[in-house]
Structures are given as C-alpha cells and as structure tokens.
Structure 1
C-alpha cells in the first residue's frame, strides 16, 4: 500500500500526460521535464540535499521513486529509491522501478528515519552513475 504526502498528491494534479517513457538522454541534465517535479518545490526540503543532490520525482511513483539526483552542475549523478521498511516487512514489493541511467558504478543502501515526503522509516537505495558521482553529491 502506498501512502502519499498531501503535497505530492496536490503537485501531481499539475502533471499532465502519460507516464514518462524512459529516454536516458532526456534525463542526463536537470531538469528532466514532465512528469518529474523538483522535490524541493513540493516539500519543505532544501533544493540541494548533501549526499543526494537536487532531487526530481514523478509523484505517482512515491514512495519508492525513482528519485533522479543531480549534482550542482545539473548532471544526473544517481538514481535513488526510498522504500518504507514497514511496507517491505508486510510483504510489499516495488517491482520494475525505473532508473535514470543504465550505467551504475556503485550502490549505497542505508537507513533513514523519515523526512517530508517519505515520513516512515525507510531504506535509501542509491545507484551512483559514475565514479565521481558520490563525491559531487556529498557537498
């Protein structure tokens, strides 16, 4: 069961058109375009989150994502998923999740106690798309 933040539900009403067909070239630079929205425009979060970058998401894909993470220069650096632990423990599956790029150089998985947009404790799964991505998103 997916529980959506009221802000993301409201933001999704402004997103028109069918689900975004995966076009890796179109996602390489920020902003990725509709149906993605910038997370900081919908929630009380900073535009750039150290460790994650500037995030964009399709609201209907919450809570898991994918969240597209861009560095300060607008380069796609990571794809992030946020999967609530309670949902996983109760048997939920998040299948066929999209990715920002088919190139993945490393993956980090870590616990997050919750934040605006994904309030429940959850795991962050971060797919870094090149060797320098983690460093560029760190600051």
Structure 2
C-alpha cells in the first residue's frame, strides 16, 4: 500500500512539473512571449511566410525548434521543426523537442534547400494543431 502511495505521489509531482514547464494556453495567441522571438525581427524573412505563417522560436532551440507558427489572426496553427539533413545523416538526434499544442490533426514532412536561419538543407516537419490550420497558414 505504501509503495502505491509513493508511486502515485511521485507520478503526481512529475506530471505537475511537466504541465507547469509548458503553458500551452499561453502559446495559443501571438506573440508567443519569452523566450520566443519573432523570426522576421531577427532574420531577413517576411513576417508571414505562406505555408508556415508568422514564426516565433526560442533561439536556444535552434536549428530544430520548435518554431511556433501563427496564422494571420495570431492563432497558433502549427509547430514546425527544421532538422538539418547532414546532422541526421551523422547520427544527431533531436530529442524531447517542445510542441506548441498537444492537439495535432495532421503532419507534413518535406525537404527545404536552406534559408536564412537554417542555411543547410533540412527537413521541415510541420505538426498542424487543428483541421483548418493548413489552409489558414497558406493564405
């Protein structure tokens, strides 16, 4: 009985710590807030990138991200990861990556030859957070 109580208490503490470490509700509307920066403010990229939206990233998580992608109304629509192919080929793992929202309706993965901020060829992994997200980011 005591072992079950200790296990249950330990699980509760761990779950509470994880939940507090990621305030999903705070990320649902742009701007994302600290430690995230608006990508277009620090790199020569447009404020809204068709297909990806307005991006925010924590610089400490580069190059992989997540990049938080907001539609034109400032709604979180996707979490985007940019993983350099060379790193993947050399056995680099990108573990425990954050996510903007725990709700995911679909995922796209595609090649990108490089751009400001992630110059090396890389894969874009895009987790869309609701059914209409892809369409809103395309506009």
TM-score, normalising length: structure 1 = 0.85
Q: Which runs of 5+ in 1 are unaligned?
A: 1-19
Q: Distance in 2 between matches of 1:60 and 1:105?
A: 27
Q: Distance in 1 between matches of 2:36 and 2:131?
A: 25
Q: What does residue 97 of structure 2 align with?
A: 97
> 1:32 Cα shift?
1.0
Q: Distance in 2 between matches of 1:77 and 1:108?
A: 13
Q: Distance in 2 between matches of 1:43 and 1:21?
A: 28
Q: What does residue 117 of structure 2 align with?
A: 117
| 1:76 matched to 2:76 | yes
Q: Distance in 1 between matches of 2:29 and 2:95?
A: 26
Q: What does residue 13 of structure 1 align with?
A: none
Q: Which runs of 4+ in 1 moved over 2 A?
A: none
Q: Distance in 1 between matches of 2:23 and 2:138?
A: 26
Q: What does residue 31 of structure 2 align with?
A: 31
Q: What does residue 133 of structure 2 align with?
A: 133
Higher relative contact order (CA 8 A, sep 6+): 1
Q: What does residue 15 of structure 1 align with?
A: none
Q: Distance in 2 between matches of 1:40 and 1:47?
A: 5
RMSD of the TM alignment (CA)? 0.9
String of CA shifts for 1:65-96, please: whole Å, max 9, x gaps. 00000000000000000000000000000000
Q: Distance in 1 between matches of 2:22 and 2:66?
A: 12
- 1:43-82 superposed matches below 5 A: 43-82=43-82
Q: What does residue 12 of structure 2 align with?
A: none
- Structure number, greater radius of gyration: 2
> 1:21 Cα shift?
3.0
The structure where helix makes up a greater share of residues is: 2
